[in-house]
Amino acid sequence: MDLRYGCRHLPATWLWREACVLLLVCEQAFAAPASFPGPTTSAPSPVGSAQVIWIEAHDKEPHRLELNFEGASNFPIMNFDRRCAVEWAPSGRHFAVSDFFASNQSRVVLFFVSESGPPTQVSLHFPAQVARLLKAHDHSYQEVVEWSPRGLLLVVHGYGRLNDKDSPDEFRRKLECRLNSETAARCDEVMSQ
């Protein structure tokens, strides 16, 4: 829903205008992740200070993601071959990329954003059992679900067990990743209720 058009046509009272601005902020904060390639070429930070830009593949060069601050040079983030989705944390200090790099695998890459410099990759530390499951299956996927007030929510799932007879044929786990520092996040399994 795009409320910008409607805000211009509200009665010229401060209450109506303030309510519309609040709705615009909420709309931006809960925006869906940007998928690349796709109909848009950027994923703006919810606080407006930066944006992730998609550079389309050409010749033998892969697709690229770059971080842009208004009026500054772009900083390289990562290359990708197939498709990805970018989701910003509500604070605008982090963003996560779900990289669907193969037909049978995907990964999540998390980044910390400084005031105006290059992004820093944040290491995601999965529980040992989840890491084992990801390695034990031919089809293993990691995807961002959403940012919550407590951290980043992921789902990891897979099927096609390889040689590990102790692993299930398929699996699905939800993880909540909390930042330990600007460069590390610990992911714990979220038990179903």
Q: Which of 37, 34, 32, 30 is nearest to 51 (CA)?
A: 34
Q: How confident is the model at residue 25 (pLDDT cuts 50, 70, 90)?
A: very low
Q: Which two tokens stand for residue 108?
A: 């999540």
Lowest mean pLDDT across 90-94, 139-143, 164-168: 164-168
Given a cut of 80, is residue 110 above it in pLDDT? yes
Q: Can you give the pLDDT at residue 13?
A: 57
Torsion over CA: 33, 66, 113, 126 (sign): positive
More confident position, 10 or 154: 154
The structural domains of the chain, with segments of one domain joined by +, span 1-30, 31-189
31-189 CATH, one of 2.60.40, 2.40.128, 1.20.120, 1.10.3470:
2.40.128
pLDDT tens across 32-45, in order? 799 999 999 999 99
Given a cut of 90, is residue 165 above it in pLDDT? no
Given a cut of 50, is residue 21 above it in pLDDT? no
CA angle 174, 177, 180 (to 5 degrees): 160
Q: What is the pTM of this model?
A: 0.81
Question: Residues 152, 185: contact at Cβ < 8 Å?
Answer: yes
Q: Which of 170, 178, 192 is nearest to 126 (CA)?
A: 178
